[in-house]
Amino acid sequence: MARLLWLLAVAAALLLAASPAAMAGGPVEVGVNWGSQLSHPLLPSSVVKMLKANGISRVKMFDADPWPVGALVDSGIEVMLGIPNDMLETMNSYGNAKDWVSENVTAYGDKLKLKYVAVGNEPFLKAYNGSFMKTTFPALKNVQKALDEAGVGDKVKAVVPLNADVYVSPDDKPSSGAFRPDINDLMTDMVKFLHDHGAPFVVNIYPFLSLYQSDDFPFEFAFFDGGRNIQDKGGISYTNVFDANYDTLVNALKKAGVPNLKVIVGEAGWPTDGNKNANLKLARRFYDGLLEKLSKDEGTPVRPGKMEVYLFGLFDEDMKSIAPGNFERHWGIFTYDGKPKFPMDLTGKGHDKLLSPVPDVEYLPHQWCVFDDGANDKSKLPGNIQYACASGDCTALGYGCSCNGLDEKSNISYAFNMYFQMQDQDVRACDFDGLAKITDKNASTRGCLFPVQVLSAGGREAPGLGWAVAAILAVAVMVFV
């Protein structure tokens, strides 16, 4: 009997060792943000395969699109669904909030491992000039009430992901942290509501933006291995801005009367293009430091212990607004076509290994749209370049970026090709008043990738349906129409 038990234990250990998380080095303690602002989204079912292959157990969404959410059903992956800012006013009606919960929460039953509903996304940003100041808190209360009345409020909590600009420190010391004066009363009421309902405070922390927004910001302080020390009261010292930022929030929560409110970092990452400090080397340095820190469960000086963090983001998104900066389209730890950008060990153990890519990715034909330098009339060139960049994505051409330094012809070709690819390689998208031509010769040059776009998943898998079912429906339509 003892030998049988021993054999069973060995078998169980072998099965555990063969799991994706074990092969990666241990259980993954980070989540990822899965954005949707791509001109050519990948198959949600393939993305979920990739998440599971890498042992990623948490996903944060920015909406509740049933297509990707449907792919997460029965996956075992913990989910945070999102309600966009433009729906906050709608959620001020309890009836609408109740309907939303019915359609996007209870409709999935226990098949979706839903943990949070994110009501808005950074709605109190200074850049929004108070647009969502009156609608966010009522929406939060209505959604939580709807969750409670639906019988799921004990396991699904409504939260509001907020940017770190909702709190300040007059002397730049974390101990002086407090909520912004213009929203202090609102924030105090909101964090007390979160506390009373067992919900966490979700904050987005971006050391890259600290560096981007100020030339005077100490460069090394943006990373976890910089060796810089900043002293605070009580002999506390900070070696990186992430910890300092986090503890500024913790002190703000103390002043608001909820010192023990759980904090989740909803977004933390580093872009890889679109700015002189946005590159693969620095991104890897940031993630290596962050993941190592998380693996040690060391927390921060004021709030030691385990931290819950969602990396931002999963993929590069070529349709994101570049108003904050060209880097906005390059936050992904994976490329637009689902390939890992650099080695990353999600367990924080420092293993130099690439993550598993998204499987089953299909591409458009291997062809490029380039400048035809033999064109007779080049007078319309400036206008066409401007159009291509406005409707496409030229963010890699800027100063210090991956495609900076190309000659004039290659610059023009890059702009034309990006528009051409984003338009599904439509031949009409490679005209530009006769200034462009299609070639099957790879146009990539000088370390600058001229991408070939993927076959958009939108044309391959109907939302909520597998390929086979979609095909059957298409045939049925042809037969009966």
Q: Which residues form the catalytic set?
A: 122, 267
C-alpha to C-alpha distance for 113 and 287, rounded to whole angstroms: 27
Query: ∠ CA 352-309-104 to the nearest 5 degrees?
Result: 120
Strands 58-61 and 368-371: unpaired
